[in-house]
Structures are given as C-alpha cells and as structure tokens.
Chains A and B, each alone.
Chain A
Amino acid sequence: MIRPGHAASLWRYRHFIMAAITGELRSRFASSRFGTLWFILHPLAMAAIYALVLSRVLGARLGQNENEMAYSIYLLAGMAGFNLFQETASRCLTVFIDNANALKKIAFPRIALPMVVLGSSFLNQLFLLVAIVAILAMFGHYPTVHWVALPVAMLVAAMLALGLGVFLGLINVFVRDVGQVMVVVFQLWFWLTPIVYPIEILPEGMRPVVEWNPVTPITRFYQDVILDQTWPDFASLLYPAALAIVLVTLSLFVFRRASAELVDVL
C-alpha cells in the first residue's frame, strides 16, 4: 500500500528523519536536568508504584511464580511493551498539530513526520530495555537468549500504534476533541491489558474483552521473554500484526485523501 512516491520521498528525506530523531534526543537532554532519563524514569516509577501499592499494600500475589521479585518483573515487562505502543500512538496523534508551524511554512513530505515519531519511540524503548536489564541484573535476573525474540513484538506494537495513531492523528487535525478523548482511552486501554494483573485473575465475563485487545498478546510476549525466560508464542502476534496491516493501510489511504486539506485547517 505504500506508494512508490512515499517510499522515494522518505528515502530522499532520510537525512532529515535521522537528524530530527537525534535532534529531538539532544534537545531533550539539554532542556531538563535529567533529560531523556524521564522517558525511562516515568515507566519505571509507575512500575515501582504499582509494585508497592498492589503487592505490598493490597497483598496481591502472582499465582505460582516462586521468585518474590516476580511481580515487579512482570510489571516492568508489561510496561515496556505497552509503553512502546502508547508512546508511538499518542505522539502520532498530535504529530501534525505539533508540527503545524513547519507544515505551513516548508514544503516537505509529510509522511516523514510519523517516521520521526517511530524512530524516536524505538530509541526510547531501547533505553528503557537497557534500564530494565540493569535493574533485573541487580536482582540477579539476567537476560537470556530468548530476548532476541523481542524485536518481533516491538515491530508489531509499533506498527499497530503507527496505524492507529496516524489515522486518529489525521482526524484530530479536523476534530481536536479526538486528542482529548484518546488520553482517557489510553488510560482505560492500559487497564484492559494484563500489565498490572495476570489475565488469570479476571472473572470469566471480562476475559473476552481483554483477549480481543490486540495489545494483550504483545505484553504477554514481553512477559514470556523477560519474566518467564521461555520462547514466546509467535503465532499469538498474528492477530495484532494483521490488525496493524489493516490500520496502516487505512491510515495511508486517509493520509492521501486528507493531505490536501491538512494545512488548510492547521
């Protein structure tokens, strides 16, 4: 579905895309004291809070796993997977509005903007995974060969997020409420994904909802690799991958149609 025109203009603008990704990283380092660290600290802090509140305060336990740090690791794994999805999607959601100034003044392939988002989300994910490895190592939980499977889930998560984010991002330019609604939707989405809780503790009635959630297989994949240190179920990614293809196709189609009117309303 990617038109040769898109591919060619992306190739022509590869320098810009690379420079924009690194430029963003650098400016983040420069503008706040901890710079890019916040992008890692935020999910880590969330994991720490949930670990504290749920396992200690509420006394929740994670089924049969022996390792007492297991719940924390479970949280970190799920967070990492969901973080890539949410960050990519929510930044795509506002990417056109955020770059309104540039879009109005410079003629360049607009498709490059979501690519910059994608690149910098991957970079952040990498930093986060490195931090997780470091934390796990402190618990004596070292990464295994199974980690090589992670990029597959990362790719599916990113594509799913890109398809959804760009589609809603285009709509958001015309109806700004979409951006506001999605903030709430992502909150709900987080709780409908087994990150804080294992899917097994859900009542029967709730399960189908969580199972139809395309992010569930992705976080499960992360949890299998990072916590259980087993080979994950690659086939489970077929459903989110198929959905990702549909969404990316849809967003490219809408992108082509909306492109002409985009700058008119920015």
Chain B
Amino acid sequence: MTEVLNVSGVGKGYPVFRNELARFARWFGLPTRPETQFWAVRDVSFSMRKGEVLALIGQNGAGKSTLLKLITGTVRPTEGSVAIDGRVSAILELGLGFNPEFTGRENVMHSGGMMGHSGGDLRRLMPEIEAFAEIGDHFDKPLRTYSSGMQARLAFSLATAIRPELLIVDEVLSVGDAYFQHKSFSRIRKFKEEGVSILIVTHSMGDVREICDRVILLDKGVVVRDGPPDEVVDYYNALIAERENANLTVEQKRAANGWVVSRSGTFEVWIDSLELVDAETGSAVSSARTGQLVELRALARLGTDIPTLVFGFMLRDRMGHVVYGTNTWHTGQALEDLHAGDEVMFKARFRCDLGPGSYSVSPALVSSSTHLENNYEWTDNLLVFDVVNFDRPHFIGSSSLDADFTIEREDGAASATLEEGNATE
C-alpha cells in the first residue's frame, strides 16, 4: 500500500493585478495585493497507491488540466503541496513542447533531455521509440510536417519509453486514430500490470469504466466525488443533466446488491414501479434464461401536465457497459398532451438474448430523444436481474448470437494423422 502520490490541500490561484508593476513590486517584498484571484483549483487532496489507475473527470474548465500540471510540476501551486515518490512521466495536452523545426529524432533527444533522460539512454531507446510511434520516414522529417495524430504518437512513444512510477496522461489518447489508441491502451494496461500508477484525464466514460480503479470528479476546481468508477460516472452523468435542467435533484445510493442507484430528475413524471416479467406467464422474473421472452413493465405517474413524454430504458452489464438501450422517441411512440394524475404503463417486450451474468435496467422519462432537454426522471440501475444459460450451448460474452456451425470435413492423409494424435490424448 505504498503511496506514490500525495496531493494535500493544493490550490492554484491566478492573481489579477491592476498593472504588472504591482506584480513586480510583490517580488521585491512590497505588500501589493492582487485585485482578484481566480482559483482554477482549490483545496484538492487525494493520494494514489502504487498500481492504481485514477481518472479525473469533469466538464471543460473544471480544473482537470491545471491539476495535472500542478502534479507534473510545470505549474507551481499557490497553496498546499504535492509529494511524488519516483519518476513521473507526463503527456500534457498535445505533444511534449516539441520544436517544429527539429526532426522527430531530434525532438526525442531534446524533449527527452528536458524530461531528464541522458543522451546515452535516449540513443539506446531510440529504435524502440521509433518503432512504437510508427510514423515511418517522418521520424527524420521536421515536426512542422506532422499531423496532430503523428505528434501524439511521437509524444506518447517518448513519454512511455521508460517505465515511470507515475504516468500522467491528459486526453492525448483521444487524438490518435483507433489503431494507435488501442496500442496506447495496451501499453497503459501493461504498465498497470507492472504496478505503475496512472492518472488520466478523459472525457470518454467508456475508458473510465474499462481501465480505472477509481474516479475523481472535479467541478469548478473542487473535488465533488471520489470513488469507484460506476458510482462517480453515474453521478457525473446525472450532474450534466442537472446543468441542463435547473430545478433537478440528484440522489445516489449503493444498493445491497452492489449496484449504485443514481436518481435524478425534475419528477413532474415519475416511475412508480418497474418490473421484469415473463412475457407468457406474466410472473416476475429475477433470473432470466438466455433466450427467454420477457417484458419490462414500467408504470409512470404524472404530477403535472406535460406536452410530450418519452420512455426509455438501458441494459448494462456488470462492468457498466451499455448492452442495449432505446426509447419510445426512436420507435416513433412519443406520447403527447398528458395531464396531471394520468397513469401510463409502458411495456417493452424483448427476447433476453444475453450471456450469463448480472444486468441492470436504467429507466428514463424524458421529453425528447436525450435526457438533456427535460429530464423528468432518470434512474441508473433501478432494477437488477441475472441471466443464466439454461438450454443453449455454452458461450461467453454478453450477447447470445447463437452461432450456427457448419463443418465440412474431408478425409485425407493429413487429417488422418491429426485424428490419431488426438486419439492418443
């Protein structure tokens, strides 16, 4: 449980002076005060264990990048302190302060030197850096001829050439193409297995759920939530909806079965009950068979008159990945002109072609195709059910695609020996 990073009470204020003379006077000890101080980050404390992967999420301007810079050391904190045990490698924004006139190779030497690597080390690592970046002949051409994706490749390749104790990655992964993203993720995963602590900023909630152990949500420079990915991400999504709908409330709790239930909305309409039943018998199902025809029944009640109502639901697997989701807007069944006191029963019938495991249902009542316009109610993971594979051949994964094998076999000398080999096992 060694700590690699300890951030305690860190804040970064950008002073605004009436004129720069006041700033200079302050360097010489004169008691001039800045007119105002803009705090990009304030009172942030957290620590990271060895091998932990932590994501910083939050809206633009929440202070994520500033916090990374404070941890990296390019920006000095106004208050508080950052303690790091070991080598840090950081990829902030695009590139690594590359010089556009230098070639890729020269930039590796130059920026690598700035990162504290010796010339010998860099020359030794050069073939590997060149191979990983995969930018071909461009490696020996001036950087100004590079595309942004190529710069990101070079930067990532250089920054991760030597295994650090703490790797800091600011959204660079979103720049490269899918191939390189995949390759970068593999390297990050490998680092993770080797015990490197990783701190990333990302807007991709998929990435967050996939590789992170923990998520910190920043808002207006302050830590709002710090916890497991599913909990923080759902809270974040609810928060985004809240921004769009001023009089919305967000509540969150972890249910006994381990799923986090986040409930947000304005609740002019609310979900009174939600159940999953067998489509034929109508009896409640808590464990569905793969391939069973089931029906999701949601009863909505109206507290006020509303012009349009859309019901949607989403199935998630245990990792939080969305398996399926749709709503009555997409199916062309949005309701109009509803009145206070109305009751609406939504029944969604579907074949449960899911792999074995635990799944959750998140229902939503909204007024259009997304929950950002009018979010009446959005509840993550309200209902949880298990799927067991009872009568289909064994398969893995969350989708039962029911593959049908056709095997064409021809007897010959080669296959005959193979057969013998198998038989002796």
Contacts and interface: CB of A to CB of B under 8 A. Distances in A.
A26 B20 CA distance: 38
A106 B111 contact: yes
Contact-residue bracket for chain B: 35 or more
Contact of A174 (B20, B109, B116): B20
B29 to A, nearest CB: 9
Interface of A: 12-13, 15-16, 18-20, 23, 26-27, 31, 99, 101-108, 171, 174-175, 254, 257-261, 263-264
Given A13-B116, A15-B118, A261-B23, A31 B110 contact: no
Contact of B97 (A15, A16, A27, A99): A99
Nearest to B97: A102
Interface in B1-41: 14-15, 20, 23-24, 26-28
Contacts of B142: 31
A107 B27 CA distance: 22
B182 to A, nearest CB: 25
Contacts of A174: 20, 23-24
Interface string B82-115: 0000001010110111110110001001110111
A102 B20 contact: no
Nearest to A255: B27
Given A27-B102, A261-B23, A20 B76 contact: no
B92 A104 contact: yes
Contacts of B69: 104, 263
A246 B75 CA distance: 29
A104 B101 CA distance: 18
A106 B27 CA distance: 25
A106 B15 CA distance: 23
Given A23-B109, A175-B20, A106 B114 contact: yes
Contact of B74 (A16, A23, A26, A106): A106
Interface of B: 14-15, 20, 23-24, 26-28, 69, 72-76, 78, 88, 90, 92-93, 95-99, 101-102, 106, 109-111, 113-116, 118-119, 142
B102 A107 contact: no
A105 B142 CA distance: 20
A180 to B, nearest CB: 15
Contact of B109 (A19, A102, A263): A19
Contacts of B90: 105-107
Contact of A26 (B106, B115, B118): B106
A183 B42 CA distance: 41
A102 to B, nearest CB: 3
B97 A101 contact: yes
Given A15-B119, A26-B106, A108-B114, A257 B97 contact: no
Contacts of B78: 260
Nearest to A101: B97
